[in-house]
């Protein structure tokens, strides 16, 4: 065989591996998708031609062809311990008191705080830098070998960057595999559609995914991984690094994704502040955390403290308030949403859950109700997972009162009284009466929402009044409301009515993509709307497109295409479009928007990180401006960052950018870089 082929295969692997590292670990792409795909295919072809060149760490070897028939038990090279829990700052201080008593109060108190990722622990074994095994935690001594599945996780390197550490024959890396919340929601949506029980939380969904026998399914689920410890079997951790902080840096250097929100604290007070800060901030993360893991930084001190039967004495899991609680179902009501879907809701005795009072939980649909066999009067366990609506997880049947009746889904819409429709392959019942007030209210609330026409000041109460008083029969009617009509409503004065009419009129300037999203066509989210309007610059283009033409667009599936096509076939929808057009809404891209893609991309290829509070722009706004100009915004500072936009109270990101010599700019400098905003 040609030596050139061998060299090319090596080179392709290196390029692909670098690109995938930049994309999945650094969240900072360096290669166009199309280029990646092309190089990948070239490698695949060469490997098909010369199978003797295939290595287990080749990027083509992430997904296995053959499903496994079972998983084998394996003994961990280094046991996995679990962590002692604390639920309050008092308990945290008691933990500090305990270890200080053991070591004497004069020792250095330096802690590493990490977010406790709510996923599944994995033990990864690397030999000579190559991933050879991935196992679940199991009981900490024995786990299950799920290497095939672990290999599909793109943020787990198949080969480590061992530069200078080549003497390390075998390395054990531990970390948490997790499902990002958006993937979790998507999987549950699909499960519900297929009439399967949704996963109770992202942790269960990740566990279920990791135990799939077919790695091709695991591959589709987009699991992610944060590394948090590394060991060399048979050697003290102190041989690897002096501190946990250094160990995390080392993991990052080896090629792992390490959680960027880690923090080094020099007092228990700082730890407590970190814990409180993340109690609310964690709701803005793309994954679930259920607490903070606090570890003593020094490996020497860790060694002196050692372990109890189950836990290390040098670490503690400081958890957030329980997210599950028992309560009693007082009523079961049925809500009708903007798509006409009937959603049964449990109305419950109010209960505290993850810091908020919960009195309603979704029961999803009639299948779920049948499965739970939930009845009025039942005691149930409710759960709140991240930002997801609370739900009932189980019924405590032993506490059921003597006389109860099973709940039956109504056959008629509880709002308009028309018969509901339940399609054979769907779990949900729907009201299909297009003038049903519930559907109309939902449609208007969607129309005015932030990502749609963004009309501020039109809340749920106002929408209800407008519909109930017969002032609005469609979203188009909003544009014909007069100040005196609005001023006559509850809690509305002349001034606020004027403001509202102006805000509604102002929304006529919103771009075509937002109007399309606002129409609330099923399956057309704001991203889909963006994609569609780029390909179909006018409403006429879209309304005349065949399903084949729509579904030919990358990222648009047949289901979405059908839904759009069918929507435009309905007469009343066509009339709505005509009216919106006559009212002056944007149903086509403006010349400027058409030009944006080419001429205004002044920040094209530049990578920004935003930190601290900016004087006038919100973070989202700054981000949108940068993106509009072709720039990219990432969460963490790395050597690939081009600019750090720093506001007041900028913290660790500013320090890091300074240390890496990255250009630091303020809001005014950012605005000066952008194309004319008018
Ligand atoms: S350290 C001896 N760090 O929490 C050290 N664990 O309740 C043990 N977890 O089994 C683990 N994030 O699955 C550690 N940053 C983190 C973590 C973390 C999540 C999980 C892990 C562990 C469980 C213990």
| Residue 598 pLDDT level (bands cut at 50, 70, 90) | very low
Q: For tokens 């990722």, what's the residue?
A: 117
**Cα 404 to middle of ligand 1, angstroms:** 44
| Residue 554 pLDDT level (bands cut at 50, 70, 90) | low
* Residue 42 parent element (H or E): helix 33-49
Q: Dihedral of CA 334/336/339/345: which sign? A: negative
Give the pLDDT of residue 237. Answer: 86
**Cα 391 to middle of ligand 1, angstroms:** 26
| Residue 142 pLDDT level (bands cut at 50, 70, 90) | very high
**Cα 62 to middle of ligand 1, angstroms:** 26
CB within 6 Å of ligand 1 — which residues? 81-83, 114, 116-117, 121, 137, 176, 228, 293, 312, 315, 317
Measured CA distances, 346 to 208, 284, 360 (Å): 27, 27, 6
Give the pLDDT of residue 678. Answer: 35
d(CA 555, CA 203): 28
Could you report the per-residue pLDDT of 268-318, keeping only the tens digit for each?
Answer: 999 999 999 998 898 889 998 989 999 999 999 999 999 987 899 999 999
**Cα 116 to middle of ligand 1, angstroms:** 6
Q: Which two tokens stand for residue 187?
A: 């999987």
Answer yes or no: is pLDDT of 188 > 90. Answer: no
| Residue 195 pLDDT level (bands cut at 50, 70, 90) | low
476, 480, 445, 479: which is closest to 463 by C-alpha? 445
Answer yes or no: is pLDDT of 601 > 70. Answer: no
**Cα 27 to middle of ligand 1, angstroms:** 23
> Are 344 and 323 contacting, i.e. CB atoms less than 8 angstroms apart?
no
Taking the CB of residue 263, how many other CB atoms lie within 10 A of it? 19
To test the ligand 1 pocket, which listed residue (120, 317, 318) has its Cβ within 8 A of the most ligand atoms? 317
Answer yes or no: is pLDDT of 527 > 50. Answer: yes
Give the pLDDT of residue 596. Answer: 54
**Cα 64 to middle of ligand 1, angstroms:** 29
Taking the CB of residue 610, how many other CB atoms lie within 10 A of it? 23
Which atom of ligand 1 sits closest to the CA of residue 121? 13
91, 99, 212: which is closest to 151 by C-alpha? 212
**Helix-helix angle 89-103:268-281, to 10 degrees:** 150
Among 393-397, 449-453, 460-464, 604-608, name the one with the lowest average pLDDT.
Answer: 604-608
Question: Residue 661: CB partners within 8 Å, gap ≥ 6?
Answer: none
Q: Which two tokens stand for residue 447?
A: 């129309």
To test the ligand 1 pocket, which listed residue (244, 293, 308, 313) has its Cβ within 8 A of the most ligand atoms? 293
How many angstroms from the chain centroid is the CA of residue 209? Answer: 17
In the Cβ-directed half-sphere of 16, how many Cα atoms lie within 13 Å? 25
Say how many residues make up the chain.
678
d(CA 364, CA 280): 27
Taking the CB of residue 32, how many other CB atoms lie within 10 A of it? 10
Among 351-355, 584-588, 596-600, name the one with the lowest average pLDDT.
Answer: 596-600
315-319/85-86 β-pairing: parallel
Q: Whose CA is nearest to atom 4 of ligand 1?
A: 116
Answer yes or no: is pLDDT of 79 > 50. Answer: yes
More confident residue, 196 or 429: 429
Q: Dihedral of CA 481/487/493/498: which sign? A: positive
Answer yes or no: is pLDDT of 171 > 80. Answer: yes
> Are 348 and 360 contacting, i.e. CB atoms less than 8 angstroms apart?
yes
d(CA 361, CA 390): 5
102, 548, 20, 40: which is closest to 307 by C-alpha? 102
Sheet holding 263-265, edge to edge: 85-86, 315-319, 289-296, 111-117, 263-265
Among 61-70, 105-114, 448-457, 576-585, name the one with the lowest average pLDDT.
Answer: 61-70
Which atom of ligand 1 sits closest to the CA of residue 85? 7
pLDDT cut 90: percent of the chain above it: 60
70, 51, 79, 81: which is closest to 141 by C-alpha? 79
| Strand partners of residue 296 | 111
Which atom of ligand 1 sits closest to the CA of residue 317? 7
519, 572, 600: which is closest to 533 by C-alpha? 519
Backbone angles phi, psi at 344, to 5 degrees: -75, 140
According to DSSP H, which parts of 50-112 are helical? Answer: 89-103
Answer yes or no: is pLDDT of 472 > 90. Answer: yes
Q: Which two tokens stand for residue 115?
A: 């977010």
Give the CA angle between residues 182, 186, 192 to the nearest 5°.
145
Long-range contact pairs involving 62-70 (C-beta distance under 8 Å, separation at least 24) = 62/151, 62/152, 62/154, 62/158, 62/219, 63/151, 63/152, 63/215, 63/216, 63/219, 64/148, 64/151, 64/215, 64/216, 67/213, 67/214, 67/215, 67/216, 68/148, 68/213, 68/214, 68/215, 69/213, 70/213
Catalytic residues: 116
Measured CA distances, 632 to 486, 593, 599, 676 (Å): 42, 19, 17, 19
**Cα 173 to middle of ligand 1, angstroms:** 12
| Residue 599 pLDDT level (bands cut at 50, 70, 90) | very low
Give the pLDDT of residue 239. Answer: 87
In the Cβ-directed half-sphere of 163, how many Cα atoms lie within 13 Å? 7
Could you report the per-residue pLDDT of 340-398, keeping only the tens digit for each?
Answer: 999 999 999 988 776 567 889 989 888 889 999 999 999 999 987 654 678 898 999 98
Q: Whose CA is nearest to atom 16 of ligand 1?
A: 116
More confident residue, 243 or 665: 243
To test the ligand 1 pocket, which listed residue (176, 262, 274, 287) has its Cβ within 8 A of the most ligand atoms? 176
**Cα 119 to middle of ligand 1, angstroms:** 9
Q: For tokens 């692997």, what's the residue?
A: 13
Answer yes or no: is pLDDT of 462 > 90. Answer: yes
| Residue 623 pLDDT level (bands cut at 50, 70, 90) | confident
574, 577, 669: which is closest to 625 by C-alpha? 669
Q: Dihedral of CA 537/541/542/546: which sign? A: negative
Q: Which two tokens stand for residue 123?
A: 């033990």
Q: For tokens 């295969």, what's the residue?
A: 9
Mean pLDDT of 413-438: 88
Q: Whose CA is nearest to atom 5 of ligand 1?
A: 81
> Are 303 and 99 contacting, i.e. CB atoms less than 8 angstroms apart?
no
Q: Which two tokens stand for residue 42?
A: 């070239």
Give the pLDDT of residue 1. Answer: 67
Start-to-end C-alpha separation, the chain? 61
**Cα 609 to middle of ligand 1, angstroms:** 29
Mean pLDDT (the chain, rounded): 90
């Amino acid at each position: 065989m040609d030596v050139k082929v061998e060299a090319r295969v090596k080179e392709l692997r290196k390029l692909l591996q670098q690109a995938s590292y930049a994309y999945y670990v650094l969240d900072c792409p360096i290669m166009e998708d199309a280029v990646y795909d092309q190089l990948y295919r070239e490698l695949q072809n060469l490997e098909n031609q010369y199978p003797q060149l295939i290595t287990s760490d080749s990027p083509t070897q992430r997904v296995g062809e053959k499903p496994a028939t079972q998983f084998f038990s394996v003994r961990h090279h280094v046991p996995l311990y679990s962590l002692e829990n604390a639920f309050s700052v008092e308990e945290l201080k008691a933990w500090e008191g305990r270890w200080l008593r053991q070591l004497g109060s004069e020792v250095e108190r330096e802690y590493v705080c990490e977010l406790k990722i709510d996923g599944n622990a994995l033990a990864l074994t690397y030999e000579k830098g190559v991933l050879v095994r991935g196992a679940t935690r199991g009981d900490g001594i024995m786990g299950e070998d799920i290497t095939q599945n672990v290999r599909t996780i793109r943020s787990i390197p198949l080969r480590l960057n061992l530069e200078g550490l080549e003497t390390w024959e075998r390395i054990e890396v531990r970390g948490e595999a997790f499902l990002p919340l958006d993937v979790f929601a998507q999987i549950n949506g699909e499960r519900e559609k297929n009439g399967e029980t949704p996963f109770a939380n992202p942790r269960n969904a990740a566990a279920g995914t990791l135990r799939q026998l077919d790695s091709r399914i695991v591959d589709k689920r987009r699991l992610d991984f944060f590394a948090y410890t590394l060991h060399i079997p048979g050697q003290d951790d102190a041989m690897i690094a002096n501190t946990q902080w250094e160990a995390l840096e080392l993991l990052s250097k080896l090629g792992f994704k390490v959680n960027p929100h880690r923090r080094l604290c020099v007092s228990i007070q700082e730890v407590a502040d970190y814990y409180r800060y993340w109690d609310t901030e964690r709701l803005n993360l793309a994954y679930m955390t259920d607490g903070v893991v606090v570890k003593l930084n020094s490996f020497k001190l860790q060694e002196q403290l050692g372990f109890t039967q189950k836990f290390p004495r040098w670490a503690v899991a400081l958890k957030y308030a329980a997210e599950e609680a028992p309560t009693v179902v007082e009523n079961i009501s049925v809500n009708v949403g903007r798509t006409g879907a009937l959603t049964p809701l449990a109305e419950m005795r109010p209960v505290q859950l993850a810091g908020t009072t919960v009195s309603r939980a979704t029961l999803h649909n009639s299948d779920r109700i049948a499965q739970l066999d939930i009845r009025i009067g039942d005691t149930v366990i409710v759960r709140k997972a991240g930002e997801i609506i609370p739900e009932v997880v189980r019924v405590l049947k032993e506490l059921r009162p003597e006389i109860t009746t099973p709940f039956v889904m109504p056959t008629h819409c509880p709002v308009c009284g028309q018969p509901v429709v339940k399609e054979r392959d769907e779990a949900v019942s729907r009201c299909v009466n297009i003038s049903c007030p519930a559907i109309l209210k939902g449609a208007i609330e969607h129309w005015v929402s932030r990502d749609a026409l963004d009309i501020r000041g039109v809340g749920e109460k106002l929408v209800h009044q407008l519909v109930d008083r017969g002032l609005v029969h469609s979203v188009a009617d909003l544009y014909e409301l007069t100040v005196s009509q609005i001023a006559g409503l509850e809690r509305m004065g002349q001034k606020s009515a004027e403001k509202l009419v102006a805000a509604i009129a102002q929304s006529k300037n919103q771009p075509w993509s937002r109007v399309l999203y606002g129409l609330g066509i099923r399956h057309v989210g704001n991203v889909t709307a963006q994609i569609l309007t780029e390909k179909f610059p006018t409403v006429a283009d879209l309304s005349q497109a065949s399903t084949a033409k729509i579904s030919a667009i990358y990222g648009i599936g047949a289901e979405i295409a059908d839904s759009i096509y069918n929507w435009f076939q309905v007469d009343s929808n066509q009339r709505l479009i005509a009216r919106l057009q006559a009212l002056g809404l944007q149903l086509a891209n403006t010349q400027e928007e058409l030009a944006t893609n080419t001429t205004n991309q002044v920040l094209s290829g530049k990578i920004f990180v935003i930190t601290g509070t900016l004087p006038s722009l919100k973070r989202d706004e700054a981000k949108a401006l940068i993106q509009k100009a072709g720039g990219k915004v990432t969460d963490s500072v790395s050597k690939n960052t081009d600019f750090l936009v720093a506001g007041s109270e900028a913290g660790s990101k500013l320090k890091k950018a300074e240390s890496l010599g990255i250009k630091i700019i303020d809001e005014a400098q950012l605005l000066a870089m952008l194309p004319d905003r008018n």
